Structure 1
Amino acid sequence: MAAVTELSFLLFALINNIHAAEQIIVQQERWSYTFKLPNNTNSCLISRSVGEEKLVLWNTSDLWSINSSVPEDLKQRLVSSVETSSYTILNLTHSDSGPYREECWTEGNVTHDNNITITVCSLIISFGFTVIFGETVDLSCEGAADNLDVQWLKRDSRYEQETWSRVFGDNMTSVMDNVRGRYQVVTNTSALRVSNVRNTDLTRYRCLVMYQQQCIFSNTVELILQSEIIYGSVGETAVLPCTVADSTDEQPPRWSNLLSGQELHNQTVPSVDQNYSLVFSSLMLKHSGLYSCAVPKRWQQYYLVVCPKFGPPAVELFSEGEEVTLRCRDWRKGTLQNWFIKSHRTEGRIFSVTYKSMSRVSRYNNDGTLVISNMSVGDAGEYWCVVNDLYDYQCVSTERTVLVYNKPFGI
């Protein structure tokens, strides 16, 4: 019997610890924060810890006690809504930063227990950062400088509201998502380095720049999967994989064509296979569009451009170190040319040829030519020139050139 009692106590302690897990909320100075409590409770208490003292902000059984210890300047900024069980602190200041606790009881039993840490920052900015799976990226911490404490947070997907968890513990090893060793802070810049980007990394990260225990600046970086451009010709098969979906998602991914505003989950053409890939069995010109595969808090996009049937490709030889000029013969006024590459290096997939993806692109001209300098063996592949109409951006024609490395004689 004693063993059963001890086991019950341990289970209660474990459940209580889960409910009391810390949530980190970051708000800008002069903004507000609202505590939303459950409706089906007899009484609730919202308190804040100031050192060893417990400051009671709201007690729903005695909302505005005459003996309340809340400072007058804070009491003037407290607003309650009994109908919605919400309680708000207006015009936040740095002095409002700190640990808070929500506790609710029903018939004498604790039914809600929540620990919240609110951090008030002087300024918050946000921006996005596009990535591809498998690469390593550095997320900059704007405003970081010497002698300033920097803290990195990651959005916690367990909560609907924008709640954060610490990326690192005190020993600077990652404590989230079993990514130990994949997250590092760059010493000189305080940037967060994310290695081998995966599904679970596609979220928001927040850098807090602290000075004398106050947050003076915060920037949020959202990792977004880079949109991929896929070109196909009429009659071909095209498969758009949904790589952001995984077994932890509660709902299956939803496909939509963002240009037409049409959801595709009930469509037969294109169809969605068992792996949630979008499949076009026989491409038509009208299938061109911007397609999105979305699960909660993650998505990826494809620009699918369908061109008239491709003709046979031209073949050109190149040597190490030379300069190659590719020409888009169908280019003319009123059209726009785009260059793409399909090679073993890209595993047979088609990617844009840009200064970012290919450092040796010396000129990307407006006369239908592409100039690549200092050619190497890895530059071999199939290069596509796609001509689009400037008015409706429909594909007018496609030309392909296969660049083949010419091995030196005797090797």
Structure 2
Amino acid sequence: MAAVTELSFLLFALINNIHAQELIIIGQEGDSYTFKLPNNTNSCLISRSVGEEKLVLWNTSDLWSNSSSVPEHLKLRLDSDVDTSSYTILHLTHSDSGPYREECWTEGNVTHDNNFTITVCTTSRDRSYITARVGEPVDLPCEGAADNLDVQWLKQDSRYDYGTWNRVFGDNTTSVMDNVRGRYQMVTNTSALHVSNVTATDFTGYNCLVMNQQQCVSSHPVRLELHYEMIYRSVGETAVLPCTITDSTDEQPPRWRNLISTDLGQLNQTDPSVDQNYSLVFSSLMLNHSGRYSCEASGIEQYYLLAVCPKFGPPAVELFSEGEEVTLRCRDWRKGWDHDWFIKSKRTEGRIFSVESDQRMSRVSWYDNGSLVISNISVGDAGEYWCVVYDYDYQCVSTERTVLVWL
């Protein structure tokens, strides 16, 4: 059964350090594409390259004359609007794929010169969303690759132009972008895009094009987003929320917001404050500092959930032997709207991590009934575990602490 999908276009601009800007327009078969040429020009030529041959498709000064260069099969699918200098190819087919060029003249001088490629391709409506942290590696999946490893990866340059994309690879293995050379690699068996050291500029849109020789079979969009951090602290302690998404090209300083209450820039208070590194600093935490915070720079946002709880009492103690399964219970989980588990262990050098966001906790499961289950426990799991219960405004209403001790 044929599925009826909304036909749409993705505009990609691929820029590398060798070639001039190349625009790639990707649309589904049956869609249309409109060439928007500049006004006040004497004439424009639209040509297409077929191998080494340059085929002139039409000259806008004699578009509909008997001697027009427009191929007959294209005349039947061509629509124009002289008032807006726009020309549209209707009902695109795979045969329309290829490199195109626009050239316009005014009084004998070239006033417009544009190269681009039209690729007719089926675009997946299911976008993948992947999260990562700055400095960590990540793999972006190519969902449509399967056994077909002939793929092309594109990257959206959303920090400056939401319609501009960069070609990640000149071929299947070599990055063509100087600022990421060596950081991006193709995973051999899956065609996933491996980023070895994520930076702020990597948090954007990507697209994996599955190819059959020179024909695009399908395109699969992926969005890389910054993983939000959960931070636990007690009243009176300090907290520093770093803004790691800034770089030297940012024209405006980052903007911090409290997503629960108001813009931090409008608060007449010294705590929290923003230091010279654009980190949000709390020198003496209070209960009402709990909440969700966001650092925004160049269209990217970095999110934090800060839980500030009262000073905790003596912890419960759980003993375990290696290989056992241990269940920790959050007895007060019904008192609030939501709850999270945090851990402080020797392997994290005394730092406190959210159990959910700590990727090293692969043997840990947590449930809505407040229980935390650690399977095949080992000495590395020893440490202090906190269950933090929130109300609807993310204010801490309860905290419980359990210490796991290895026998």
TM-score using structure 1 length: 0.78
RMSD: 3.5
Instruction: Give the equivalent residue in structure 1 for 2:134.
Output: 133
Structure 1 residue 28, shift from structure 2 partner: 2.9
Structure 1 residue 27, shift from structure 2 partner: 2.5
> Tell me, which stretches of 5 or more residues in structure 1 are unaligned?
1-16, 407-411
Instruction: Give the equivalent residue in structure 2 for 1:28.
Output: 28
| Aligned ranges 1:351-362 → 2 under 5 Å | 351-354=353-356, 357-361=360-364
Could you give the per-residue CA deviations for residues 38-58 of structure 1, whole angstroms, max 9, x where no partner exists? 568676544332341332446
* Mapped pair 1:48 → 2:48: yes
* Mapped pair 1:298 → 2:300: yes
Instruction: Give the equivalent residue in structure 1 for 2:342.
Output: 340
Taking a change above 3 Å as real, the CA distance of residues 86 and 336 of structure 1, as seen in their structure-2 partners, is same
8 Å contact from structure 1 (residues 19, 113) kept in 2:
no
TM-score using structure 2 length: 0.79
The percentage of counterpart residues that share the same residue type is 74
Bigger mean CA offset, 330-339 vs 195-204:
330-339
Which of 272, 282, 286 pairs up with 1:280? 282
Instruction: Give the equivalent residue in structure 2 for 1:6.
Output: none
- Counterpart CA distance in 1 for 2:62 and 2:241 is 59
- Counterpart CA distance in 2 for 1:19 and 1:83 is 33
Q: Tell me the matched-pair count.
A: 386
8 Å contact from structure 1 (residues 154, 167) kept in 2:
yes
Instruction: Give the equivalent residue in structure 1 for 2:329.
Output: 327
Taking a change above 3 Å as real, the CA distance of residues 148 and 313 of structure 1, as seen in their structure-2 partners, is closer
Structure 1 residue 384, shift from structure 2 partner: 1.1
8 Å contact from structure 2 (residues 151, 191) kept in 1:
yes
- Counterpart CA distance in 2 for 1:323 and 1:347 is 24
* Mapped pair 1:249 → 2:218: no
Name the amino acid aligned to 1:120.
Answer: V
* Mapped pair 1:214 → 2:251: no
8 Å contact from structure 1 (residues 29, 123) kept in 2:
no
Instruction: Give the equivalent residue in structure 1 for 2:153.
Output: 152
Name the amino acid aligned to 1:380.
Answer: A
| Aligned ranges 1:6-405 → 2 under 5 Å | 20-37=20-37, 44-51=44-51, 52-57=53-58, 59=60, 66-80=66-80, 86-105=86-105, 108-125=108-125, 126-146=127-147, 149-157=150-158, 160-170=161-171, 172-260=173-261, 262-269=262-269, 270-311=272-313, 313-314=315-316, 318-332=320-334, 336-346=338-348, 348-354=350-356, 357-361=360-364, 364-389=366-391, 393-405=394-406
Structure 1 residue 226, shift from structure 2 partner: 0.9
- Counterpart CA distance in 2 for 1:70 and 1:307 is 73
- Counterpart CA distance in 1 for 2:160 and 2:118 is 15
Instruction: Give the equivalent residue in structure 2 for 1:11.
Output: none
Taking a change above 3 Å as real, the CA distance of residues 57 and 398 of structure 1, as seen in their structure-2 partners, is farther
3-state SS in 2 of match to 1:102: strand
3-state SS in 1 of match to 2:201: helix
Name the amino acid aligned to 1:67.
Answer: S
- Counterpart CA distance in 1 for 2:349 and 2:45 is 58
3-state SS in 2 of match to 1:378: helix
- Counterpart CA distance in 2 for 1:248 and 1:256 is 22
8 Å contact from structure 1 (residues 19, 112) kept in 2:
no
Taking a change above 3 Å as real, the CA distance of residues 40 and 383 of structure 1, as seen in their structure-2 partners, is farther
8 Å contact from structure 1 (residues 23, 165) kept in 2:
no
8 Å contact from structure 1 (residues 20, 113) kept in 2:
no
3-state SS in 2 of match to 1:200: helix
- Counterpart CA distance in 1 for 2:254 and 2:389 is 33
Taking a change above 3 Å as real, the CA distance of residues 148 and 235 of structure 1, as seen in their structure-2 partners, is closer
